[in-house]
Structure formats: C-alpha cells, structure tokens
Amino acid sequence: MKILFCGDIVGRSGREAVLREVPRLKRELGLDFAIVNGENAAAGFGITAKICAELHEAGVACITTGNHVWDQREIIPYIAQDKRLLRPINFPPGTPGWGANVFETPRGQKILVVNVMLRLFMDALDDPFRAIDAELGKHVLGRSVQAIVVDMHGEASSEKQSMGHYCDGRVSAVIGTHSHIPTADAWVLPGGTAYQTDAGMCGDYDSVIGMKKELALPRFLKKMPGERLAAAEGDATLCGAIIETDDRTGLARSIQPLRIGGRLAPT
C-alpha cells in the first residue's frame, strides 16, 4: 500500500498547494490513501466544514487535527458527524468526534488512522501511550487491517521519538505534526515501523511557522501584545512523506520525505 501523509496545512496558500498537488500525486504515484493534518487550514486557526469538503473532493481520505481543532466553533457539530475528520484520541470521554477510524481504500484494503496528542509543553490530556494501547488492542496489523498510521501531534522531539519506539512493530507508520518544521529523520525503525519526528507544514516558509513574520517577530522583541497573528500568504511548500507498506504484514517497506514547491529544497 502506498500512503501519502501531509503535515499541517497553514492558511490559504497551504490549502491551495494541497488541493493542487494531492490529485496529481495520487495519479502519478499510484497512491492508495491520503492523510492530511488540517488543524491550521482556516487562516491558520482550525478548520471548517467547507475546507473539509474541498480536501475530500481533492482526494484526501482522512483529515487529522491537534490542539487547534476547536478554533472554529462551527466544526463542533460537524466533527460529530464526519468520521473522516479526526481529533486527538486522548481527549476526555464525551468529547465530540472520533480519535481513530478504519477506512477502506479503492482496492478494498483496510487502514486504521489514529490521531493522538502528546503532552510535553502541550495541553494536559489523557495519557497518549495508554490511549494508543487501547486502540491497538482492537486491531491486528496485517489481519484485521492492512495498515495502521499514527499522527502524533506534539511539541517535544523526545516524546515523539518515544512514541515511535513504543509503537514500533505494531503499526505501519508514526508521523509527527505540530512543529511545522520538517525533520530529516525519516526512516524505518528496527521493528518495521516508518517514522518521522515531524512532517513539516504545507504553507509559506517565508514566515514564522506559517504566520506572517512581521506580526510574529514583535512578540519576541517587545514581549507586549500586538496584532493578531495571520497566516503567511506566499508560495507554499507541500511537506509530508510517502510510506510504502508490505501488504502481507502491514509493516513499512520504506518512507520517503516529500517537499514540493515554495522555498524549501524539493525532494
């Protein structure tokens, strides 16, 4: 199975890059499934039902999120109805939406996507490691599902690496989101799980993690309230990874980082 995973979409330029490139990548590379983190897609803060519909129309099968999932209040009733839009699985019981879902590819393969949020320097949610254990206890990789992909939304690289090793051999891929900066450590762990600490963002890198630099810089220079942050609007780089799995075991054969357009060196 060939799986595309795209990092956090930030604002209009990031959305346009994803909407333009995902259909082409699916066609040219024969991709079976596309996952995108969309938690900053609405002008940098949250996501809307309209944006979800646009992404699905472009061929994105699953949209993951993170700590900005509730920034657009209209998404609360929507997320309770659309299992293609996930929120972190370790939110407290009773939170609207789903943290994991099993999807079926056009070839009839089943893929489990799990969205989890880590805790170092983040919101104090339920234990992400126990949440992962509980979800993986419902499925058998290579049997009940042909692939399992985990979007770990977190700040600290140490916690992300720990989650990768914790899941090694039990899932197809563990990919980090949230920092908006692509890391250079895409590899297959010893147990057969594809890993990357952070996929990076789909957005304008002539910015401060996707926000206009002229609005972000004063917050560090003056330590005073300033204008509300706004997403940068220049040419976007689509950042992510392509994972190829073994159809028999569900483990990863390879992971290749992906960067298209914008200001970063392409790969």
Evaluate whether residue 71 is within a structural domain.
Answer: yes
Paired tokens of 188: 């297959």
CB 252 within 8 A of CB 188: yes
Evaluate whether residue 67 is within a structural domain.
Answer: yes
Contacts of 37 (CB under 8 A, 6+ apart): 6, 7, 8, 9, 63, 64, 65, 66, 151, 153, 177, 199
Residue ranges of the alpha helices (H) in 125-247?
128-136, 157-167, 213-221
For residue 36, the domain's CATH number is 3.60.21.10
CB 199 within 8 A of CB 88: no
Domain count, the chain: 1
Catalytic residue IDs: 68
In which domain, by residue range, is 206 found? Answer: 2-260
Evaluate whether residue 265 is within a structural domain.
Answer: no
User: Could you list the pLDDT tens digit for every one of the 267 residues in the chain?
Assistant: 999 999 999 999 999 999 999 999 999 999 999 999 999 999 999 999 999 999 999 999 999 999 999 999 999 999 999 999 999 999 999 999 999 999 999 999 999 999 999 999 999 999 999 999 999 999 999 999 999 999 999 999 999 999 999 999 999 999 999 999 999 999 999 999 999 999 999 999 999 999 999 999 998 998 777 789 999 999 999 999 999 999 999 999 999 999 999 999 999
Evaluate whether residue 68 is within a structural domain.
Answer: yes
| pTM for the model | 0.96
Whose tokens are 């810089």? That residue is 217
| Residue 125 per-residue DSSP state | -
